[in-house]
Amino acid sequence: MKVKPIILCGGAGTRLFPSSYKIHPKQFIDFGGWNLFQKTLERIKSPIYDHPVISSNEKYEKIIKSFLKKYKIKKYDLVLEPYKKNTAPAVLSSALLANIPNNQALIFLPADQLIDNVKAFNKAVKQNQKKLADDNICIFGIKPTEPSCQFGYFLINKHNNIVTSFVEKPSEVIAKKIIKKNAYWNSGIFYLRKDSLIYHYKKNQPSLLKNCLRAVEKSQSKKSVYKLHKPSYAKAKEISFDYAILEKSKKILGVGLSVVWSDLGSWRAITHLFKRIKNKYYSKKNTFIKPWGKYFNLHRGKCFLIKELVVNKNSSISLQKHRHRAEHWTITQGKPKVTIDARKLYPKTNETVFIPLGAVHRVENKFNQPVKIIEAQVGKILKESDIIRYVDQYNRIK
């Protein structure tokens, strides 16, 4: 029997503002001719998969249908939530609503991830299907490339692959310690049979199972599009699948994936991944050398522009302001000093600074390590010439 892919496509993805926001989440962002939802659909073209079930929110119905039409996906089931309730209700409802046999294997795939080696991924899915007996849940892990605080981790017993513990988004210090113990990043991809899924909810979340069953039984359907019953779904507990099921079960098997993986959950992650895969955004035509360092144009949309700034050691941009744009700076490396009007700020890595339209501002790097910043410009006019300089160590004031 083929594996039934269930694509979880309901997240808001607002961490990538302004490219991503609640009505246009990150799985739909155009990264130069492709998006993450498209890549997820491409991953399940293998003959090992049945047609997909897509679990999402009602407000994304039109955009999902447009992409399915664009990518020529003719057979699918679309399950739509009236409210955002996190992953546990979405997972259960999508499995119950679609016409899926009880013994069919289900693989749940977040729609906002990128995996570079699709063949290796699908090989792992096929090889591990036999492990789904006895109500086991198989979760896929990624070998960490850094002690990230953005992901959950899990540890396994190396003799039988049983997951011994989960650690949810630890501090960098704890992440370093558990990585030494061969911990994996939790990819959010999990794999089990439909009857096993129902067993785990019945055992650990009986009230959630009851409310989701009612929402499914009273749902409205039209041409493979299912809309869950609002009053029933409103009673469903808002909780993640990890907390509701994974952390309560003793039947979790961990499988390591040998792939380059990212959930592209921050501009830092996007920058890192683009460099690893030598993305075209880092071509010469998108690289601009400045006396203080350089910048890359990463992505342009309507009324916004995303750049990466690299400020060299002992350098600074000019003290300046803009007439037509505001800026959001996310620090990805280094120890910058930021001036905004009369304020002096010292943001750390992964912190964001907002520069209002018309604010006089500057970033300085007084250390040996380059400062790296993801800059999101927002405004109707986005031109490099929109700079009024007040102080400049490179004599560019006209």
Residues 207 and 317 in one domain: no
Of the pLDDT bands very low, low, confident and very high (cuts 50, 70, 90), residue 31 is low
Q: What is the pLDDT of residues 154-172, one digit of tens each?
A: 999 989 999 999 998 899 9
Domain that holds residue 74: 4-265
For residue 307, give the CATH number of its domain.
2.60.120.10
**Considering its fold, how many domains does the chain have in total?**
2
Place of tokens 């000093």: 337
Same domain flag for 241 and 335: no
| Total residue count of the chain as it appears in this document | 398
Residue 396 covered by a domain: no
Domain assignment of residue 270, yes or no? no
Give the domain CATH number at 11: 3.90.550.10
Looking at 230, 265, 300, the residue that finishes a domain is 265
Position 283 in a domain: yes
Taking each helix axis from N to C end, the angle separating 118-127 and 36-43, rounded to the nearest 10 degrees, works out to 50
Q: Is residue 397 part of a domain?
A: no
Residue 271 domain flag: no
242 and 348 within one domain: no
Q: Of 232, 265, 298, which residue constitutes the final position of a domain? A: 265
Q: Same domain for 291 and 348? A: yes
What is the mean predicted confidence (pLDDT) over 28-32?
69
pLDDT digits (tens, 9 = 90+) for 307-336: 999 999 889 999 999 999 999 999 999 999
Q: Do both 50 and 195 map to the same domain?
A: yes
Cis? peptide before 18, omega within 30° of 0: yes
Q: Are residues 113 and 230 in the same domain?
A: yes
Say if 217 falls within a structural domain: yes
Give yes or no: residues 382 and 237 share one domain: no
Question: Do residue 186 and residue 292 come from a single domain?
Answer: no
Last residue of a domain, one of 265, 293, 323: 265
Residue 46: predicted pLDDT: 94
- pLDDT at res. 379: 94
The answer to whether residue 164 sits within a structural domain is: yes
Say if residue 18 is in the same domain as residue 42.
Answer: yes
259-295 pLDDT, tens digit per residue, is 888 876 665 666 666 655 555 444 556 788 788 988 9
Q: Does the residue 273 lie in any domain?
A: no
Banded model confidence at residue 19, pLDDT cuts 50, 70, 90: very low
Same domain, 230 and 124: yes
- 322 and 214, same domain (yes or no): no
Q: Do 148 and 42 belong together in one domain?
A: yes
